[in-house]
Amino acid sequence: MNLEEKRLAVTRKLVGEVAAKLGADLSLELWNGEVLPLGAHARDDIRLVLRSPEAIRRLLTRPRLMTLFELYAEQEVDIVGGSPLQAAERWNHSKALATGRSFPKMKLLGFVTPFLFGRMAKAAPLPSFDGSVPMRYAKGRDDKELIQFHYDVSNEFYQLFLDPEMVYSAAYFPSPESSLEEAQQTKLDRICQKLQLKPGDRLLDIGCGWGGLVCHAARHYGVTAYGVTLAQRQLEFCRAKIEREGLGDKVKVELRDYRNIEPSGQFDAVAQIEMFEHVGLKNHDRHFIHMRELMTPDGRYLHQASVRRALFDMSKFGRETAYMGVIRRYIFPGGEMDHIGMTATNLERHGFEIHDIEPMRMHFHLTLKHWVDNLWANREKASAMVGWERTRLWLLYLSMCCISFQRGGINVFQTVATRRIHGPSILPLRRAEWFQEA
């Protein structure tokens, strides 16, 4: 038996053992064209493809999520017959994690031996963040470097999968059948209504993205809106949009770190829509102190952020998960999530009164499904803009997020708070009144 035959024989045995535990409804195609089921009743319409023995060697020597991401980006592992999300929906992720953790290390060592001989091709470096920005807030921390890696990929790239208003956060679906555009408009209205916006109010949107909220609030609620971003290309897009829509007297957007806005209590409402994940756990106190200082005495604050689940042993909460390790290297450098209990506690510690906490987990799952489907449909255009490697990294990233929200590994909440006062609440008595239903 030559080396190639040994590798194929070992791979068949390995796949057979994994398939018995995994029970997935998809198949694996080897580099010689042979197709192996990954479950007892697996179909072969969607297949994971191993393009060479190198994929097996790297998975056996570095059996981790990072390796799978890199192999897919390099096209050493491929998916045929469907998108990464469609493939990911075909297996039980809890079983997959359990299979990886329980597989005997000595048995793995036996499988890897035939793959240690012979020359293997070396892949080109992937587009990763390799800056040395500290995670803790300090005067010298260059958040602009972190932000621009994620958001300055290109405006045209994001236009391939976002809604026409370019809203890059969880939408709110009136029904599962609603379009992404309708769901994002509904979300923007709900934010404005929860903030009780009215003509003449001054709204601040920190991390304003491509200007969806500031323009919507000025156009439909008569506010004067101020947005800040650290992404140069977002700023250019916002200013062109403001001019195009004739909102120059109502909306202003600047390239500015929100922490440098003068804390003079000038804003009637402050919105933070999913930029909080960029702040870093050790910087949360500084964030909430600054939010309170920016608001008028009767100001309102809306905080929308993705969160992890709290752990029974919270001493382990700060440890980097495999998922976050991948995200920080290739997609979202500096990203960290708290848990909803931490959010609520920090708001109260820093002088806020919480009025409402609304979970939006399945809304984000549906949002991400639209984003994945849109990017998959436009993958050829995306690769022409940013390259196949980055396109495939983003497809896998969005698909993994979509599955995580569906499974409940991650959640997202909208929290409404005001500065704590001694006396009656400044918000309406009934929640229905927030949404003009009464």
Q: What is the per-residue pLDDT across 226-239, written as a single tens digit (0 to 9) for each?
A: 999 998 999 999 99
Q: Are residues 298 and 348 in the same domain?
A: yes
User: Helix, strand or coil for residue 269?
Assistant: strand
Interatomic CA distance for residues 410 and 171, integer angstroms: 16
pLDDT tens string 271-326: 999 999 989 888 999 999 999 999 999 999 999 999 999 999 888 888 878 878 88
Q: The CATH number of the domain where 280 resides is what?
A: 3.40.50.150
Structural domain contains residue 132 = no
Q: Are residues 87 and 154 in the same domain?
A: no
Structural domain contains residue 275 = yes
Structural domain contains residue 379 = yes
**pLDDT (0 to 100) of residue 360:** 98
Q: Are residues 70 and 191 in the same domain?
A: no
Q: Are residues 200 and 60 in the same domain?
A: no
Q: Mark whether 192 is an active-site residue.
A: no
Structural domain contains residue 203 = yes
Instruction: Please report, for residues 129, 195, 205, 394, the alpha-carbon distance to residue 387 in angstroms, rounded to integers and kept in the order given.
Output: 16, 41, 32, 11
Q: Are residues 236 and 380 in the same domain?
A: yes
Compute how many other C-beta atoms are within 10 angstroms of the C-beta atom of residue 374: 18
Please state the pTM of the whole predicted model.
0.91
Q: Are residues 182 and 331 in the same domain?
A: yes
Beta-carbon contacts of 371 under 8 Å, excluding residues fewer than 6 positions away, are 161, 162, 180, 398, 402
**Which runs of consecutive H residues, i.e. helices, occur in 152-283?**
155-159, 180-194, 212-221, 232-244
**pLDDT (0 to 100) of residue 121:** 55
162: tokens are 């976002």
Residue 129 has pLDDT above 50, yes or no: no
Residue 151 has pLDDT above 70, yes or no: no
Structural domain contains residue 253 = yes
Listed residue (403, 392, 414, 409) closest to 366, CA to CA: 403
Q: Are residues 206 and 289 in the same domain?
A: yes
User: How large is the average pLDDT for residues 86-93?
Assistant: 89
Q: Are residues 218 and 75 in the same domain?
A: no
pLDDT tens string 175-206: 999 999 999 999 999 999 999 999 999 999 99
Q: Are 257 and 144 in contact (CB under 8 A)?
A: yes
Confidence of residue 170 (pLDDT cuts 50, 70, 90): very high
Domain count, the chain: 2
- The boundaries of the domain holding residue 366 are 143-434
Q: Are 198 and 152 in contact (CB under 8 A)?
A: no
Secondary structure (H, E, C), 328-380: HHHCCCCCCCCCHHHHHHHHHHCCEEEEEEEECHHHHHHHHHHHHHHHHHCHH
**pLDDT (0 to 100) of residue 436:** 67
